[in-house]
Amino acid sequence: MKPSPKSKQEKTRLQLLHQYYGYTGFYSFVWQAVKKAIPYIIIAVIALYVVNHFFNINDALIKLTERLPVYGVLSFFFVSETLLGLVPPEMFIAWSGKMDNPWFYLGFLAFLSYFGGLISYWIGRFITKIPSVHNYLEVKMEKQLKNSKKWGGFLIVVGALLPLPFSISCIAAGIIKFSFKNVMLYGSLRLLRFVIYGLIIFNVL
């Protein structure tokens, strides 16, 4: 059975996209970024494991959401989503499921996460104003910075949809001076992630 013209066209588009990423150095850029990040990820994982071995972080966070008033939980979540976003949002989504109006609080959490990311972007822009950082980016990281600006949208989409800190992606976007309008656009996918997680955690699906 011969492939349809449509499937050939789609395959051609994928091949062209693959060639574009190859020519522009996207794959090399991602691989270099991953290699540089691996040691820090390993250190962070080991640190979390050691801390969690002596002090159950997850139980502590659950107790924190149980003891804090509603505005306290929302404030804590907003600060977390603005500053690196290291506390998993799934825990707060589960918390919203225990409320009288779970979808209302889920929506509130989604917008807090989204706006926290936007603030993180400006934190990244502020970081670039530090003289030592500015000189490092403009001189030693000029090529990497140029490539990063090409794929800033990809960076935001990954942070918005995947279980990675959205705040860190937005800070990185601010550092590379990616368009704020595009950050707002691509970052809106963060709202979709909360809807999907809500459907799963609230047993709607």
64 found inside a domain: yes
Q: Give the tens place of pLDDT for each residue, 53-100.
A: 666 555 666 677 777 788 988 999 999 899 877 788 888 888 888 888
pLDDT of the residue at 142: 59
pLDDT of the residue at 107: 92
169 found inside a domain: yes
42 found inside a domain: no
Domain of residue 122, residue span: 56-201
25 found inside a domain: no
What is the rounded average pLDDT for all residues in the chain? 76
pLDDT of the residue at 35: 61
33 found inside a domain: no
51 found inside a domain: no
**pTM attached to this predicted model:** 0.69
89 found inside a domain: yes
> What DSSP assignment string belongs to the chain?
-PPPHHHHHHHHHHHHHHHHHHHHTHHHHHHHHHHHHHHHHHHHHHHHHHHHHHS-HHHHHHHHHHHS-HHHHHHHHHHHHHTTT-S-HHHHHHHHTTSSSHHHHHHHHHHHHHHHHHHHHHHHHHHTTSHHHHHIIIIITHHHHHHHHHTHHHHHHHHHHSSS-HHHHHHHHHHTT--HHHHHHHHTHHHHHHHHHHHHHTT--
71 found inside a domain: yes
Q: How many domains does the chain have?
A: 1
Confidence grade of residue 146 (pLDDT, cut at 50, 70, 90) = low
Question: Which of the two residues, 25 and 176, has the higher pLDDT score?
Answer: 176
